[in-house]
Amino acid sequence: MSGEIEWRLHVDPTRCIGSGICAGVAPRHFVLVDGLSRPVAERIAADESVLDAAESCPVEAIVVSEEESLRRIAPEG
Ligand code: SF4
């Protein structure tokens, strides 16, 4: 199962305030470009660090979804 594409990452550029928290929490998955975060790859193998990043984002700009169902995994609620 490892290495399979399972999750999808999205950063809403209209919400992101460029705090850089996500890139600190999950540097393999988020990079700041011109002051806004973007996913390094939009489709990834499951990785807990992106859930931490989504939960840590102060404006909930990061959404992690299941690749197949598009069900939202994080942030919760
Ligand atoms: S934590 Fe949220 S607001 Fe901060 S850079 Fe990442 S997506 Fe943008």
Is residue 65 within 6 Å of ligand 1 at its C-beta?
no
User: Domains in the chain, please, with CATH?
Assistant: 6-74 (3.30.70.20)
54 close to 48: Cβ distance less than 8 angstroms: no
Q: Which atom of ligand 1 is nearest to the CA of 25?
A: 1
Distances (CA, A) of 66 to 6, 19, 20, 39, 46: 6, 25, 24, 15, 9
The pLDDT tens digits of the residues spanning 15-54 come to 999 999 999 999 999 999 999 999 999 999 999 999 999 9
pTM of the model: 0.93
Q: What is the spatial distance between Cα 57 and Cα 2, in angstroms, rounded to a whole number?
A: 26
User: Could you count the other beta carbons within 10 Å of the beta carbon of residue 39?
Assistant: 20
| Contacts with 21 (C-beta within 8 Å, 6 or more apart), sequence order | 53, 56, 57, 58
Is residue 59 within 6 Å of ligand 1 at its C-beta?
yes
What is the pLDDT at residue 77?
A: 73
